[in-house]
Chain A
Amino acid sequence: MSAVSAKMPRSYVPYVLLAVFVFFAALPAMKPPAFAESFLYLLFFWIALATSWAIFSGFTGYVSFGHGAFYGAGVYTLANLASYWSIWWCLILSGLVAALLGVAVAAVVFRTRLRGELFALLTLALAIVLSTIILNTPIDGGPGVYLLGVNLPSFYGSQASTLYLFGMSIGMLSLFVAWYLQRSKLGRALFAISDDEDVAEILGVPTYACKLIACGISSALAGVAGGIHAVFVSYVTVSGTFNLEVPLFVLLMSVLGGARSWIGPAIGAVFVTVLNNTFVSGDSALLVRIGIGVTLIIATLYLPDGVVGLVQKFGRRNTNPAVDPVHPAQVEQPAAQQRSTTQAMTATGETLVQLENISLAFKGVRALDGVNMEVRKGEILGLVGPNGSGKSTLINVLSGFYKPDTGRIIFGGEDLARRPGHIIAKHGIARTFQIPRPFGRLTVLENVVVAAMFGAGGLPERHARERAMHYLGFVGLDSRASALPSELNLHQRKFLELARALASGAKLVMLDEVLAGLTPSEITSAIAMVRRIHSADTTIVFVEHNMRAVMELTHRLVVINQGKMIAEGDPRAVMQNPAVIAAYLGTADAED
């Protein structure tokens, strides 16, 4: 199916944005009434605020109630400096101060993993604290700051036009940045974080840094918009700057338009600003307010995913021909598979990973208790044990999901224990999840592209797409590349996990119960798949309850029970080990 090509289509968006920018930049030459400039200024001002908010909060899903703080930092930076420095420096500083604040806040806040709503609370608190500080220090002190004699450069011979151009520029800049980010590597990282931050991290996304950068960009844009707005209102007060209007309105606009899209917040901003500023008759002020309320409600009820969500829904319906809902049978004929699938590579005996004395306890329960083991280059290592024995915990430690309490994980001469997940991924360790955890709102293709871009391979986008398509073909999902994971069945989602792990370019792939929940025929094809993966130069750790598959596939077996390694060696020999038999008694066949 040719609907999805490996190449990203060239976008016409920058040209459109440029044309729009040129149009609005030339507008003052047509001598529109000053009101038009002023109104458009407000429009672009809100576009800038809503879009900048969405760059962090919309893309990552961390809803901030503190956008007013970054905006306010910009407002007060300019208000305090405008009489000393040129407007250009002031605006740059407004952006810088806001960005520094944003990065500093993010740096502190994201040291711990904060649930979304607590992040919202924290940012709300930040805005309140910041406004109180400004109110009680010479930054404002109470009387407000009146911006007298700010020296604006004069475009089109009018300060009002200049201000309009400033506002329009920051609005358009925010749009461009949002568009660019959405397609960029960082943008993908943010969307992945939004969908499943833990998975993003172990696929190699440096989530902490990404959040910091995004928060910095978002704050910087809000800060510059704030600086411009300080000149626009010319008299800034704490209660006027830090009220709930900014945080509430940016959220409203973004959700109304579609917060995960670069253009959505702008659509919402235009909608709300036009509503608020067009109907201003003094005689029916109250009726107008009621009308605005009703409009907001109706718009939301009928557009639950925002305007952009609606457009995409129709878009998907039209471009996505009905696909076979039953899992495809292409698994047997992988499109891009070149190598022989029958001859497995043999283990070299060389150590790939060395685990030394790995222990981990949860609230006093020892999940892992001094595990020493190695994974050898080129082997398929079976990792078995009864339920709750610590197999999955071990995988979680190896992939950086959990940090061990003690011990070392030597990989490529480096100790990776307690390193962040994305570093481990970069070294070439990838995994799948027992219950698949795809990024729910990214397409199948994008899911794999993220892994290819951020994993050990670290490919640039173009190559990442090629590689992603290659591995989608390999697992037989190439025809579903533009589907959403929710449209796949369990079997397909497991294969998507596989494609993600493979596309990351990992040297070591850990498969966590890939066979669980599959039908016998699916199991057969999955076993074949694992063989093919192995033949492609990949070392595999294979966690499984299905003993038939384990015996068929693995070169070596490690048995874990109660957090300890109880046996290790040739699969057949290990299964005869009395300790292993004891550990399994009564439970060995529970799964199969």
Chain B
Amino acid sequence: MSDLHNSAAKLSRRNALQGGLALAAASALPAIAQGTGPIRIGSTLALTGPLAQTGILHKIVGEIYLKQLNAAGGLLGRQVEWVLLDDQSKPEVTRTLYERLITVDKVDLLIGPYATGSILAAMGVAQRYNKILVHHTFGIPSLAKYEMHFPAWPIGAFPEKTVTNRVVDMLAGKVKTVAVVTSKFPSVHFLALGARPVFKERGINEVLFLEFEFGAKDFGPIAARVKDANPDLLFMGAIGLEGNQLLEALEKLNWTPKNHFYTYPTPGPLALSPLGKDALSFTAYEDLPPLNAAPGAAEFGKLFTEAAKANNIAYPYVETQTGASYSAWQVLIHAAAETKSLDDKKMSDYLKKNGAPTIIGKVRFDGPNNYGDDLMRIKQVQNQRWVLVYPDEFKTPGAKLIVK
């Protein structure tokens, strides 16, 4: 039970080591936390609207995490309650609701919403109230200027360079030409634009660069142009279904890309479609060894799979989105447990100095804009499952990188 939530567990272990009575610790804690009753953590998620498919995942993860946390004794001796509101996938509603969480619901702590626009809106509110904001998956590090924001998704301060370089390293000279095709969705577009100079530096010839409107439906002409260009690597700035849509259009031209990389694919449709074979993407976490050896990770994976199946989620395995979601909770709770406080400033100072252990690994916040190391790994679809193929130390047992 104590390994479910490692920071709370650590806390109680240390108390035991110090020889203090558990009871004494428990009675001391409420004083530190300045209150009794449950600790309330507030957030919004895109539970309805166009981003709901991902918003729902974050909801499932949060519920699992809190159940585990509370079963293990909660935080600072108190139970933890999640005040969750639906922001309808709209940043302006997110802003209003975070203000409501702080000023009306008077929650003790905040945790982030989902999607770039909403996270920025929440960050603005957090900044005005000097609240610490840990968030799950934010894609444009240069936009996150608030000193008390903490990205649980460790993409580093310059993912457009570090991630692309990793991909090129992995391909090890086997790829001579690339087609960069990108959606004009902000976080995706940013990565794809940033990747272009890296490819050039590394001597990979860009044979096609295409941008399309987010929400485009007809991929036929794009597919025809990709086929015409016939690149060794299709590097697609894709979010949601766009990868699938291009692949389906390419299939109709009887053409399959040799190697193909997608930035933010929705995991299910791409992995489960026969067309997604050998597709590459980057990830912080997958529920696979060796990554899930972290304390609590395997159990989380099991619980998530159960809950996801019950909720009709097409790809019921923990992957980068849900892994980061779990990590965000771990970072927040770790900071509170370690500082024995709910004080935003103290927690923030602690995190900046020490980082936090998560299922993804040790996440640090000591670089530009509170971004630390880029912990991203490369995954590939093999047998309708995403497996890790690079770097070697994270490779899923039995998986082998396929490069043509």
Give the B-binding residues of A (Cβ under 8 A). 33-39, 41-42, 132, 135-136, 142-144, 146, 148, 159-160, 229, 232-235, 237-240, 245, 276-277, 280-283, 285-286, 288-289
Contact = CB atoms under 8 A, between A and B. Distances in A.
Interface string B104-128: 1000000000001100110010001
B128 A35 contact: no
Interface stretch (B5-13, B44-52, B274-282, B316-324): B44-52
Which 7 pairs show the lowest CB-CB distances between chains A and B?
Answer: A282-B84, A33-B103, A35-B100, A285-B86, A142-B184, A285-B47, A142-B189
9 contacts: A33-B104, A142-B186, A160-B99, A235-B117, A237-B186, A277-B96, A281-B84, A281-B85, A282-B45
Given A34-B102, A143-B186, A240 B96 contact: no
Contact of A148 (B90, B96, B145): B145
Nearest to B145: A148
Contacts of B85: 280-282
Contacts of A159: 128
Interface of B: 44-45, 47-48, 59, 84-88, 90-93, 95-97, 99-100, 102-104, 116-117, 120-121, 124, 128-129, 140, 143, 145, 184-186, 189-190, 193, 211, 213-215
B213 A132 contact: yes
A240 B91 contact: yes
A144 B59 contact: no
Given A148-B145, A281-B86, A233 B95 contact: yes
Nearest to A41: B96
Given A146-B143, A283-B84, 4 more contacts: A34-B103, A35-B104, A235-B91, A276-B93
A282 B44 contact: yes
A288 B86 contact: yes
A283 B44 CA distance: 11
Contact of B120 (A33, A41, A146, A282): A146
Q: Is the interface of A mostly helix, strand, loop or mixed?
A: helix
A151 to B, nearest CB: 15
Given A234-B120, A238-B184, A285-B86, A143 B140 contact: yes
A284 to B, nearest CB: 9
Contact of B99 (A38, A280, A288): A38
Contact of A233 (B92, B129, B145): B92
A235 B145 contact: no
Contacts of A37: 99
B128 A135 contact: no
A383 to B, nearest CB: 60
A280 B186 contact: no
B145 A289 contact: no
A286 B95 contact: no
Nearest to B100: A35
A232 B213 CA distance: 25
Given A159-B128, A235-B120, A286-B48, A39 B96 contact: yes
Contact of B93 (A36, A238, A277, A288): A277
Nearest to B62: A282
Contacts of A232: 92, 95
A289 B48 contact: yes
A135 B213 contact: yes
Given A135-B213, A142-B184, A160 B121 contact: no
B99 A35 contact: yes
B238 to A, nearest CB: 14
B97 A280 contact: yes
Contact of A229 (B92, B93, B145): B92
Contacts of B97: 35, 280
Contacts of B213: 132, 135
B54 to A, nearest CB: 14
A571 to B, nearest CB: 71
Contacts of A142: 184-186, 189, 193, 211
B15 to A, nearest CB: 34
A50 to B, nearest CB: 16
A39 B100 contact: yes
Contacts of B189: 142-143
A146 B186 CA distance: 11
A135 B213 CA distance: 8
Nearest to B185: A239
A235 B92 contact: no
Contacts of A34: 99, 102-103, 128-129
Contacts of A240: 90-91, 117
B91 A233 contact: yes
B328 to A, nearest CB: 16
B132 to A, nearest CB: 18
A281 B143 CA distance: 29
Contacts of A281: 84-86
Contacts of B120: 146, 234-235
A282 B59 contact: yes
Contacts of A135: 184, 213
B48 A285 contact: yes
Contacts of A39: 96, 100
A148 to B, nearest CB: 7
B86 A280 contact: yes
Contacts of A238: 184
A143 B193 CA distance: 10
Contacts of A229: 92
A219 B353 CA distance: 51
A282 B184 CA distance: 30
A35 B96 contact: yes
A196 B190 CA distance: 52
B96 A42 contact: yes
Contacts of B143: 146, 235
A113 B79 CA distance: 68
Contact of B92 (A42, A144, A239): A42
Nearest to B45: A282
A391 to B, nearest CB: 56
B280 to A, nearest CB: 23
B96 A237 contact: no
Contacts of B186: 142-144, 237
Find the residue from A142, A159, A240 having the highest chain B CB count within 10 A: A142
